[in-house]
Structures are given as C-alpha cells and as structure tokens.
Amino acid sequence: MEVRKGAYQGLFYDFVAECAANPRLIALCPLSQAREDRQEREELVLRFFAYSERYLQFKHEVKAFLDEYMRDKDTGFDREEYKTNFLRMVDFVEKYFPYGFRKVSAAKSTPRVRFEAISVGVHLALQVNPSLVPSSMGWLSSNEFKYHTTTHASNSSTRLKDRVEFVRDSLLDRK
C-alpha cells in the first residue's frame, strides 16, 4: 500500500485513507503495529471497495487487480455513494458482529481474508436488503465459516467468491 500511495495519489487514495482513519473501523479492526506501519488498514479498505464492486472479475493477482482498480477510480468515483456504502457496512458490523472483524474478543489483529469475507459479504447482503436484521449469527462459529476464512489459497478467485458469498448468504438466510 505504501507503493500505491506514491503511485496513485489523488482523490480516491485520499478517500481510502480517510475511511481507514475512521475511529469505529479502527476499533472493529485491530492491527499489529507492524501492519499499521505498512498501511494495512488502507489496504483493507481498498480491498473492500475493489472486491465489493468487482469480486467476480478477480482472477488471482491481487496487486495488479488493486492497482487497476486504483487507476480506474483516479478518473472519478461517486464519493457520497462510496462513503454511504462504507459507513453502512461499518454500522452493520458494529451492531451485529460481537467481535467486529476479529476472530475472538482478545485478538490483537485482523486477518485479511476474514476482513474481506465480512466486509464484502455484509455489503453484498445490504445491497439485497438495506434494512437487513440477521436472524442468527451462529454461522460465525461454524466450521464452514472457519474454512472460508483460512489462508489456504486465499487469493484464488473461487475462494474469494466462496467466502464473500458465504457471508452474504448466511446473513440473508440462504443457507
């Protein structure tokens, strides 16, 4: 993300940095100091926007996918729509996910695949039902969710699709 900061300075990068500095996101998504220093939260926010919009187009190369997305957004994006989507996702996670993006309450860091699954899955579910109230959150402790949020082949297009759609479908009671 540090390299992207230099290469893609502009309104969209500034917007991503602004979202990453959101105090509620910081509370819900703890990171180690080393990951903070590498601007990991900005990377996570960028992944949220890119995957929310284009997860079905993702193939395998994360860096190229995110770089292309940044280039596209430098030519323009609907700031208010993106901000609304981001804040709506954060509100939902804060309200319904007992540990936020963490695995357990005492976790000091948030795995990327877990953040992606939850943030994008929530966004996709809210697109279907903006007034969604989940009937159950028991799936968070299921073996299936654990499987979807482990790092094995985490950058494959199939695994990305499966994890975000698992969260979406669980929230929408499609399982």
Instruction: Identify the pLDDT of residue 74.
Output: 86
Instruction: Identify the pLDDT of residue 175.
Output: 66
Residue 110 predicted with pLDDT over 70 = yes
Residue 20 CA to residue 23 CA, distance in Å, equals: 8
Residue 14 CA to residue 114 CA, distance in Å, equals: 24
Q: Mean pLDDT over residues 157-169, rounded?
A: 96
Q: Mean pLDDT over residues 35-62, rounded?
A: 94
Instruction: Identify the pLDDT of residue 8.
Output: 56
Instruction: Identify the pLDDT of residue 1.
Output: 46
A 10 A CB-CB count for 59 gives 11
Residue 11 CA to residue 174 CA, distance in Å, equals: 38
Residue 151 predicted with pLDDT over 80 = no
pTM for this entry: 0.93
Residue 6 predicted with pLDDT over 80 = no
Supply the mean pLDDT for the chain: 92
To the nearest whole percent, how much of the chain has pLDDT over 90? Answer: 81
Which of 8-22, 24-38, 148-162 ranks highest by mean pLDDT? 24-38
Residue 63 predicted with pLDDT over 80 = yes
Q: What is the pLDDT of residues 117-128, one digit of tens each?
A: 999 999 999 999
